[in-house]
A and B are shown apart, each in its own frame.
Chain A
Amino acid sequence: MKKLLLTIILTIILSFVSEQFLPWWIIAVVAGLVGFFLNMGSFKSFVGGFLGIFLLWTAYLYYLNVVVNGALAERLAALFSLPNSIALICLVGIIGGLVGGTAAMTGSLVRKL
Chain B
Amino acid sequence: MRWIKAVLGILLTAFLIILLNNKLVSLPILGGMVKGTPAESLPAIAPFLNPFTGVWTKVEGKTPNIPTEIQTNYLKDKVEVIFDDRLVPHIYAQNEEDLFFAQGYVTAAHRLWQMEFITIAAAGQVASIIGPKALDYDKAQRRKGMLWAAKIAIDKYLIENPLGKKILEAYTAGVNAYIEQLSDADLPIEYRLMGYKPSKWTPLHSALLLKQMTWDLASRQNDVPMTNALEFFSPEDLAFLFPDYPQDADPVAATTYNAFHDFQATKDSLEKVKQQEEANQKKENHKGSKASTIPDFWEGIIGATDLEDDEYLQGSNNWAVAGSKTQSGQPILCSDPHLRLRLPAIWYEIQLNAPGINVYGVSIPGGPAVTIGFNDNIAWGVTNSGRDVMDWYQIRFKDDTRQEYWVDSTWKKTDLHIEEIKVKGGETIYDTLFLTQFGPVANYPKGHEHYNMARKWKGHEPSLEMLTFYYLNKAQNYEDYLNALKYYECPAQNFAFAAKDGDIAIWQQGKFPLLAPKQGQYVQDGTQSSNNWQDYIPIKDNPHDYNPARNFVSSANQHPTDSLYPYYYGGRFEYFRNRRLNDLLAGMENITPDQMKKIQTDNYHLFAKEVLEVILPILAEKTDHNEFEQAALKELQAWDFNSDHDKRAPSVYKAFWHSFYKMLWDDLKVDTNLVLPSPHRYHTLQFMKYKADHDFMDYRQTPEKENLADLVKLAFVEGMKDLEKWEKENGKVATWQYFRGSTIQHIGRIPAFGVTDVPIGGDQGILNAMNGRNGDSWRMVVHLKKDGPEAWGIYPGGQSGNPASPYYKQQIPLWAKGEYYPLNFWSSPPQEEGNTKVLGKMIMQ
Do B9 and A102 have beta carbons less than 8 Å apart?
yes
Q: Does B429 contact A (CB under 8 A)?
A: no
Q: Considering the complex, which residues of chain A in the window 63-113 have a beta carbon less than 8 Å from any beta carbon of chain B?
A: 64-65, 68-69, 71-72, 75-79, 92, 95-96, 98-99, 102-103, 105-106, 109-110, 112-113
**Binary per-residue interface labels of chain B (1-22) against chain A in the complex, 1 for a CB within 8 Å, 0 otherwise:** 0110110011011001100110
A20 cross-chain contacts in B, Cβ below 8 A: 52
Once bound together, how far apart are the Cα atoms of A57 and B9, in whole Å?
23
Chain A residue at smallest Cβ distance from B12: A102
Q: Which one of B9, B45, B51, B808 contacts A64 once the chains associate, using CB atoms below 8 Å?
A: B51
The verdict on A30 contacting chain B, using a C-beta distance below 8 Å, is: no
In the assembled complex, B818 has its CB within 8 A of some CB on chain A: no
- SS class of chain B's interface: helix, strand, loop or mixed? helix
Please judge, given known A-B contacts A24-B54, A102-B12, A106-B12, whether A113 and B2 are in contact too, CB under 8 Å.
yes
Chain A residues contacting B12 (CB-CB under 8 Å) are: 102, 106
B17's nearest neighbour on chain A, judged by CB, is A25
Contact B9 A99 (CB under 8 A): no
Bound Cα distance from A103 to B9, whole angstroms:
7
Inter-subunit contact B753/A75 (CB<8 Å): yes
Asked if B51 and A25 sit within 8 Å, CB to CB, the answer is no
Q: Do A102 and B16 touch (CB < 8 A)?
A: yes
In angstroms, Cα B17 to Cα A64, docked, is 25
A78 in contact with B13 (CB, 8 Å): no
Closest Cβ–Cβ distance, residue B750 to chain A (whole Å) = 7
Q: Which of B515-523, B628-636, B785-793, B798-806 contacts A (4 or more CB under 8 A)?
A: B798-806
Which residues of the partner chain A approach B804 to less than 8 Å between Cβ atoms? 69, 71-72, 75
CB pair B17–A28 under 8 Å, yes or no, is yes
Number of interface residues of A (CB under 8 A): 36
Taking a contact as CB atoms closer than 8 A, the residue among B3, B16, B51, B752 that contacts A61 in the complex is B51
Given A24-B47, A71-B803, answer yes or no on A79-B58 (Cβ-Cβ < 8 Å): no
A55 to B56, CA, bound (A): 17
CA distance A106 to B51 in the complex (A): 24
Bound form: Cα–Cα A92–B750 in Å: 21
| With A24-B47, A69-B804: A76-B9 Cβ-Cβ less than 8 Å | no
The interface size of chain B toward A, counting residues with CB under 8 Å, comes to 37
Query: Chain A 33-51 against B: per-residue CB contact (8 Å), 1 yes, 0 no?
Result: 0000000001000000000
Considering the chains assembled together, what is the distance between the CA atoms of A101 and B10 in angstroms?
12
B52 contacts A99, CB within 8 Å?
A: no
Q: A99-B13, A110-B9 are in contact. Are A92 and B50 (CB under 8 A)?
A: yes
Name the one of B6, B54, B751 contacting A106, with C-beta atoms under 8 angstroms: B6
- Asked if B49 CB lies within 8 Å of chain A CBs, one says yes
Residues in A whose Cβ lies below 8 Å from that of B16:
28, 98-99, 102
Q: Is the CB of A64 within 8 A of B752?
A: no
Residues on the A chain within 8 Å of B59, using CB: 64-65, 68-69, 72
Interface residues in chain B, defined as those with a beta carbon under 8 Å from any beta carbon in chain A: 2-3, 5-6, 9-10, 12-13, 16-17, 20-21, 45-47, 49-56, 58-61, 189, 750-753, 803-806, 808
19 residue pairs of the A-B complex, CB under 8 angstroms, read A24-B50, A28-B13, A28-B16, A56-B51, A60-B51, A61-B51, A69-B60, A71-B804, A71-B808, A72-B59, A72-B804, A92-B51, A95-B45, A96-B46, A106-B12, A109-B5, A109-B6, A112-B2, A113-B2
